Amino acid sequence: MQIRFFASFRDVVGANELKWTRPTTTLRVLVNDLCAQYGIGFSRWMFDGDEVASWIIILVNGRDYRDIGGLDITLQPDDVVCFFPPVAGG
C-alpha cells in the first residue's frame, strides 16, 4: 500500500510517501498503526478528542473515506491512502 503525506503530516513522518507492508485490514487499523509509529506529533494532527478531526482529509484511491465506509473501510495492498491536515493559504 502506498501512503502519501501532505503538509504537517509530511513534516511529522519525515517523508512524502511510504510503502506500507504491514498487515492492515481497515483504515482504522492503519490510522492507529501510524499514530503508534509516529507518536503524539501525528496523533495531534489526526484527532479531535477521540475522533478523527472533521477537518482532516483522508483519501483512499482518490475518494474521501467518509463517502466510502469511514474508518472501517477495508484496505487492499494496492490502495493509495493520502493524509491532508488543515491548510490555509491566500
Task: Give the pLDDT score at 56.
Answer: 93
- Whole-model pTM: value is 0.91
Instruction: State the DSSP code for 16.
Output: S
Structure confidence at residue 48 (pLDDT): 87
- Cα–Cα distance measured from residue 14 to residue 71, given in angstroms and rounded to the nearest whole number: 24
pLDDT value, residue 88:
59
Distance of CA 50 to the CA centre of its chain: 15
Give the domain ranges of the chain.
Answer: 2-84
Looking at the domain 2-84, which fold is it?
Ubiquitin-like (UB roll) (3.10.20)
